[in-house]
Chains A and B, each alone.
Chain A
Amino acid sequence: MTFAPVGLTHFLVLAAVLLVLGLLTMLTRRNAIAVLMGIELILNAANINFVAFTRYGAINLGGQVVAIFVIVLAACEAAVALAIVLNLYKRLGSVSVREANKLRD
Chain B
Amino acid sequence: MDQLIVLSLVALGIPLLGFVLVIFNQKSLGERAHLVSIPTIAFSTAISLYVAWVKIKNPALGTLQWSAEWIRFGIVPGFGPLAIHLNILFDSMTAILMVVVTGVSLLVHVFSSEYMKRDSRYARYYAFLGLFTFSMLGILLSGNLFQIYIFWELVGFSSYALIGHWYERSGPQYASKKAFITNRVGDVFFWIGILLLFAQFHTFDLRAIFGFINEGLPLSFSILGFSPETTLTIAGLLIFGGAIAKSAQFPLHIWLPDAMEGPTPVSALIHAATMVAAGVYLMARVFPLLTADAMLVVACVGAFTSFLAATIALTQRDIKRVLAYSTISQLGLMMMSIGAGAVASGIFHLVTHAAFKACLFLGAGSVIHAMHRAMHAVHDHETDAQDIHNMGGLLKKMPVTGWTYLIATLAITGLPLTAGFMSKGEILSGVLAYGNLQTGIATALPWIGFGVTMLTALYMWRQIFLVFFGIPSKPDLYAKIQESPRVMTAPLVILALLSLWICYGRNPIDPEHGWLLKKGVTTPAQVIPPQTAPTFRPKHYLSYQTEQDGFGIAVAPSIEGTQGWSVPPMPHQVALMENRHGISAIAEYYALGSAVLGFLIAWLFFSFRPGMAVSVRKAFKPLYTFSFRGWFIDDLYEFVFSDTIIFSSRVSAWVDRVVIDGLVNLAARVAVLLSRIVGWFDRYVVDGLVTLTGATIQFLGLMARSVQSGRIQTYLTWVVAAVVAIFFIAWWALAHPFTLSILP
A contact residues vs B (CB 8 Å cutoff)? 23, 26-28, 35, 97-98, 100-105
Which residues of the partner chain A approach B720 to less than 8 Å between Cβ atoms?
23, 27
Q: Is B712 an interface residue (CB 8 A)?
A: yes
B709 touching A97, Cβ below 8 Å: no
Which residues of the partner chain B approach A28 to less than 8 Å between Cβ atoms?
713
Closest residue to A97 on the B side, CB-wise? B712
Q: Is B716 an interface residue (CB 8 A)?
A: yes
**Shortest Cβ distance from residue B226 to the other chain A in the assembled complex, whole angstroms:** 98
Residues of chain B at interface, number, CB under 8 A? 9
B708 touching A26, Cβ below 8 Å: no
B contact residues vs A (CB 8 Å cutoff)? 708-713, 716-717, 720
Contact A100:B709 (CB < 8 A) given known A23-B720, A27-B717? no
Cα–Cα, bound, A69→B515 (Å): 152
By secondary structure, the A interface counts as helix
Closest residue to A102 on the B side, CB-wise? B710
Closest residue to A35 on the B side, CB-wise? B713
A104 touching B716, Cβ below 8 Å: no
**Shortest Cβ distance from residue A80 to the other chain B in the assembled complex, whole angstroms:** 16
Q: Besides the contacts A23-B720, A26-B716, A102-B710, what 16 more A-B pairs have beta carbons closer than 8 Å?
A: A27-B713, A27-B716, A27-B717, A27-B720, A28-B713, A97-B711, A97-B712, A97-B713, A98-B711, A98-B713, A101-B710, A101-B712, A103-B710, A104-B709, A104-B710, A105-B710
**Shortest Cβ distance from residue A100 to the other chain B in the assembled complex, whole angstroms:** 7
Closest residue to A104 on the B side, CB-wise? B710
**Shortest Cβ distance from residue B183 to the other chain A in the assembled complex, whole angstroms:** 93
Cα–Cα, bound, A56→B283 (Å): 146
Which residues of the partner chain B approach A35 to less than 8 Å between Cβ atoms?
713
Closest 3 CB pairs of A and B: A104-B710, A101-B710, A97-B712
Which residues of the partner chain B approach A104 to less than 8 Å between Cβ atoms?
708-710
Give the number of residue pairs across the A-B interface with Cβ within 8 Å: 25
Which residues of the partner chain A approach B713 to less than 8 Å between Cβ atoms?
26-28, 35, 97-98
Contact A100:B712 (CB < 8 A) given known A23-B720, A27-B717, A27-B720? yes
**Shortest Cβ distance from residue A43 to the other chain B in the assembled complex, whole angstroms:** 15
Which residues of the partner chain A approach B710 to less than 8 Å between Cβ atoms?
101-105
**Shortest Cβ distance from residue B148 to the other chain A in the assembled complex, whole angstroms:** 98
Cα–Cα, bound, A96→B716 (Å): 15
Which residues of the partner chain B approach A27 to less than 8 Å between Cβ atoms?
713, 716-717, 720
Which residues of the partner chain A approach B716 to less than 8 Å between Cβ atoms?
26-27
Cα–Cα, bound, A104→B717 (Å): 17
Cα–Cα, bound, A27→B712 (Å): 9
Closest residue to A101 on the B side, CB-wise? B710
**Shortest Cβ distance from residue A29 to the other chain B in the assembled complex, whole angstroms:** 8
- Could you list 13 examples of A-B contacts with CB < 8 Å? A27-B713, A27-B716, A27-B717, A27-B720, A28-B713, A35-B713, A97-B711, A97-B712, A98-B713, A101-B710, A102-B710, A103-B710, A104-B710
Cα–Cα, bound, A23→B712 (Å): 13
Closest residue to B712 on the A side, CB-wise? A97
Closest residue to A30 on the B side, CB-wise? B713
Cα–Cα, bound, A103→B709 (Å): 10
Cα–Cα, bound, A19→B716 (Å): 14
Which residues of the partner chain A approach B709 to less than 8 Å between Cβ atoms?
101, 104
B711 touching A101, Cβ below 8 Å: yes
Which residues of the partner chain A approach B712 to less than 8 Å between Cβ atoms?
97, 100-101
Cα–Cα, bound, A91→B696 (Å): 38
